[in-house]
Amino acid sequence: MIGGHGGNIYRLAQRLNCRPSEISDMSANVNPLGPMPALIDHLKASISAIAALPEVDAGGIVGAFSRFYGIDPRQVMAGNGTTELIYRIPRALGAKMALVVGPTYADYQDACTMNQVICDHLICREEDDFAPDMRAIRRVAAAADLVFLCNPNNPTGALAARPDIETLCRSLPGTVFVIDESYLPFAPKPADDTMIGSDLPNVMVLNSMSKAFRIPGLRIGFVKAPEPLMQALVPLALPWSVNSLAQTAVQWLMEHPEQVEPFLSSTRNSIEKEKGRIEECIHQKTDARCFPSATTFVLIRLPDGLNAETVWRHMADNRILIRDCTNFTGLSDRFIRISLKSEAENRRAADLLVQLCRDHADPGNRHAR
């Protein structure tokens, strides 16, 4: 299961004989501005929480999360990151056939495989910028009892509009749709596209705090689901699955919207600015293609004559870790993903990529030196 993921900053640091902090990790899809300084200060002041067991069912943060989003706490469950919940869902629902809308996060398929659920993929088309085709999904999903849809999607960054998702889910009432919104806080208008307030009986929504608040080490995830589906999850819930510091972080975040909302707004503004800068640089100076993204990362198709492993190694030698997308089902060794960091780091990564593209350009390429 672990092999389906991206780069390992610790392994690269060992290879380069440097500290992990000396590597610019542009493979991890986390907030380039975070974590919030005020949250870090709160966690430092609350470090004594690790001396006691956390709340066994994480009921306190379930309540705080539910109040923040205005939803029924009986429809919410906390987990040790959304990945734990992803692995729990196929087994809990007794699924027999699942559909994964890809190319996307490998753990949807791995969760199905672990639970002996037959899994099929519907790969969105490159010529459509990998935007999900709802009619195509409906045709294939009719044979499935479980569908995984990441929105916005990883690694493509494609965002499906809420009305389109709702229409799809309503059209197949016998199919359960798991909508993973882990990256939605990065989208321009997340409140317009979230399904977390949906009352559809066949919709489960995953919410991650790891990415938007840049606290992936704390492993914090939630699932919101109608009560009948939630009751199927409850028997598989593990005690103390959310650690004490993670629960402390959620309580603070949910109780300080006056600080959280401006932080997320600043994040989105920064992402749009930096994304535009790096995309323009790559477009103007290379034949690589950046796909439209509603998130903090950009999927890039490399020009002819260049493959992902070559780019990965070149970046790694310069202490930049990116994502080689070769092992995403539906992609190939022509794709990489770069997650935005600071302006300086983004500029340096773009310059290195541009130079490498030029070095590998065909003799007649207009970008050749």
To the nearest whole percent, how much of the chain has pLDDT over 90?
92
pLDDT confidence band for 93 (50 / 70 / 90): very high
pLDDT value, residue 6: 55
**In this structure, are 240 and 306 located in the same domain?**
no
Strand ranges, E, within 213-321: 221-224, 289-290, 297-301, 320-321
3-state secondary structure of 304: coil
CATH number at residue 281: 3.90.1150.10
End residue of a domain, out of 255, 283, 302: 255
User: 188 and 61 in one domain?
Assistant: yes
Same domain for 237 and 91: yes
Give me the mean pLDDT over the 90-117 stretch. Answer: 97
- Band the pLDDT of 327: cuts 50, 70, 90: very high
pLDDT in tens, 9-36: 899 999 889 999 899 999 999 999 989 9
Q: pLDDT confidence of 2, banded at 50, 70, 90?
A: very low
Average pLDDT, the chain: 94
Looking at residue 326, the DSSP 8-state letter turns out to be G
pLDDT at 354: 96
Number of domains in the chain: 2
Query: Do 123 and 216 have their domain in common?
Result: yes
Q: Of 201, 234, 255, which residue constitutes the final position of a domain?
A: 255
Do 11 and 74 share a domain, yes or no? no
Residues 144, 279, single domain; the answer is no
In this predicted structure, what is the pLDDT of residue 361? 74
Q: Based on the domain organization, do 239 and 293 belong to the same domain?
A: no
How far is 342 from 118, CA to CA, in rounded Å?
Answer: 42
pTM of the model: 0.94
Residue 113 in domain: yes
User: Within a domain: residue 365?
Assistant: no
268-306 pLDDT per residue, tens: 999 999 999 999 999 999 999 999 999 999 999 999 989
pLDDT in tens, 202-260: 999 999 999 999 999 999 999 999 999 999 999 999 999 999 999 999 999 999 999 99
Domain hosting 297: range is: 2-30+259-359
Count of CB atoms situated within 10 Å of the CB of 84: 18
Q: Are strands 203-208 and 176-180 parallel, antiparallel or unpaired?
A: parallel
Single out the residue in 234, 255, 276 at which a domain terminates.
255
- Together in a domain, 83 and 177: yes
Whichever domain contains 165, its CATH number is: 3.40.640.10
Average pLDDT over residues 315-338: 97
